């Protein structure tokens, strides 16, 4: 078994890695985890476990919490904080167990054609049946259903929000990938085109994939919270940006954050309106959720407070997102009056131009650089950028790099150098120190 396969199976089977330093026991309560064997239509052949807290309202919300590859519902129950939070706030938790082999353990099906459309079959239909069981047997509120998960479960979280936007009211994806990142089963293992660090679609392409999953849907799309460790190499950190592009496009939002902050040490959050939140966890590998992150997800869902007076599931403001986000001053910290990366005149070079968008926090930043070809197009490109004193590059995606500090050169990789007239591509890099004032210069070949 390859090193990558060993890591992935070990991570998800006991959630030793997928929960970081968290080592939790089942919550102290008379309630217990119960397996349900006949919950309805089950084309994915999945197992279902459910946790129903003793203290709950007449129509409790429903949270679907999904494990990583090689794991199980009971493993995620004992290795995460969702059940103890359900005791506190009175929501039902469904823990599905994936049963489809992906070559390195059982994973949720986010690759088959059947799984990629509403009612198409496979795991999504099985999960829908589990939700309906919780509604009919335990009085669960069908208007307050939420999805969350880690790794493969994080992938399925984004998947379910795309395929069943009429069922799920919000989601929190830990270390996931955008919907339809995997073309088929052969593309699923690590090293495939989704998870080998080369995935780079446009926001429009990503958004169109979501819209195609349920083309008749005209309602409000569910808000989403996205989490990723900056040192994750199993599911590359660069995929956080691809997910941001997908869901901001789905919600009709700009890719420029409306606010940034640091709710806890090393948790760097970007907000895009009230519908999309993205957390970059500094220094974390493939190890989420860790302590406190499940609570942040529950807060995003709006389950840490009494049910609203507006009919459940249809609040004026999406659940978990107050009109003025807490902890965000009028001017977000680290963001100058003029939004970074939007100079009045975009800098450019022979045959191409480049602009930079900056997400900064105390001691570090992530920069996204958009390269746009001139009228003649490009066969390749290079971007030169001078970093402020004391700043250095610590990671890069979708580009090659020469140098770490001072003047750094970035150049195209094999798949994004050729651009037609007016076409664009993006690359990104993470740095330590301050990135304020960087001005890119682009040269085409």
Catalytic residue among 151, 152, 173, 238: 151
Are 3-301 and 348-444 equal in CATH topology? no
Rounded-to-integer distance, Cα 427 and Cα 442, Å: 13
Radius of gyration of the chain (CA): 22
User: Is 151 among the residues known to form the active site?
Assistant: yes
pLDDT in tens, 68-127: 999 999 999 999 999 999 999 999 999 999 999 876 689 999 999 999 999 999 999 999
Exposed, middle or buried by CB within 10 Å (0-12, 13-18, 19+), for 76?
buried
pLDDT in tens, 147-206: 999 999 999 999 999 999 999 999 999 999 999 999 998 888 777 889 988 899 999 999
Report residue 297's pLDDT band, with 50, 70 and 90 as the boundaries: very high
**The pLDDT of residue 208:** 97
Domain residue ranges in the chain = 3-301, 348-444
Domain 348-444 CATH (choose: 2.60.40.1530, 2.40.50.140, 3.20.20.210, 2.60.40.290): 2.60.40.290
Edge-first strand order for the sheet with 441-444 is 400-402, 407-411, 381-386, 441-444
The length of the chain in residues reads 445
Rounded-to-integer distance, Cα 373 and Cα 79, Å: 49
pLDDT in tens, 228-264: 999 998 999 999 999 999 999 999 999 999 999 999 9
**The pLDDT of residue 348:** 39
Q: What is the DSSP letter of 362?
A: T
Rounded-to-integer distance, Cα 176 and Cα 174, Å: 5
**The pLDDT of residue 9:** 39
Domain spanning 3-301: CATH 3.10.20.520? no
Please determine, for residue 356, whether its predicted confidence score (pLDDT) is greater than 80.
yes
């Amino acid at each position: 078994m390859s090193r990558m396969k060993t890591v992935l199976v070990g991570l998800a089977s006991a959630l030793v890695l997928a929960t970081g330093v968290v080592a939790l026991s089942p919550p102290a309560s008379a309630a217990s985890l119960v397996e349900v064997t006949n919950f309805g239509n089950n084309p994915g052949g999945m197992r279902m476990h459910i946790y129903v807290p003793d203290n709950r309202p007449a129509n409790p919300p429903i949270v679907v919490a999904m494990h990583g590859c090689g794991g199980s519902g009971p493993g995620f129950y004992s290795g995460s904080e969702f059940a103890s939070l359900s005791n506190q706030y009175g929501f039902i938790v469904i823990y599905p167990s994936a049963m489809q082999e992906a070559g390195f353990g059982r994973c949720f099906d986010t690759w088959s054609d059947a799984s990629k459309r509403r009612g198409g079959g496979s795991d999504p239909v099985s999960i829908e049946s589990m939700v309906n069981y919780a509604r009919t047997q335990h009085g669960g509120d069908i208007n307050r259903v939420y999805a969350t998960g880690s790794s493969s479960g994080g992938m399925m979280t984004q998947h379910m929000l795309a395929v069943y936007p009429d069922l799920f009211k919000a989601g929190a994806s830990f270390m996931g990938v955008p919907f339809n990142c995997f073309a088929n089963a052969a593309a699923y293992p690590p090293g495939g085109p989704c998870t080998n660090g080369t995935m780079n679609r446009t926001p429009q392409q990503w958004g169109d994939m979501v819209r195609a999953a349920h083309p008749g849907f005209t309602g409000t799309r569910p808000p989403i919270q996205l989490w990723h460790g900056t040192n994750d190499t199993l599911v590359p950190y660069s995929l956080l940006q691809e997910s941001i592009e997908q869901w901001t496009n789905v919600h009709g939002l700009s890719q420029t954050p409306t606010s940034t902050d640091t709710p806890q040490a090393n948790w760097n959050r970007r907000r895009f309106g009230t519908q999309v939140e993205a957390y970059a966890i500094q220094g974390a590998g493939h190890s989420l959720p860790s302590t406190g992150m499940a609570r942040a997800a529950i807060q995003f869902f709006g389950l840490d407070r009494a049910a609203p007076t507006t009919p459940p599931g249809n609040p004026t403001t999406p659940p978990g997102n107050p009109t003025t986000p807490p902890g965000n001053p009028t001017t977000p910290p680290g963001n100058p009056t003029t939004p970074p990366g939007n100079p009045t005149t975009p800098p450019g070079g022979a045959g191409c131009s480049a602009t930079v968008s900056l997400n900064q926090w105390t001691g570090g930043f992530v920069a996204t650089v958009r390269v746009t070809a001139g009228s003649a197009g490009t066969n390749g490109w290079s971007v030169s950028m001078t970093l402020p004193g004391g700043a250095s590059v610590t990671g890069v995606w979708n580009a090659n790099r020469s140098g770490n500090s001072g003047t750094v050169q970035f150049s195209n990789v094999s798949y994004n150098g050729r651009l037609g007239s007016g076409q664009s591509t993006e690359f990104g890099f993470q740095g330590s120190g301050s990135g304020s004032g960087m001005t890119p210069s682009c040269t085409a070949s």
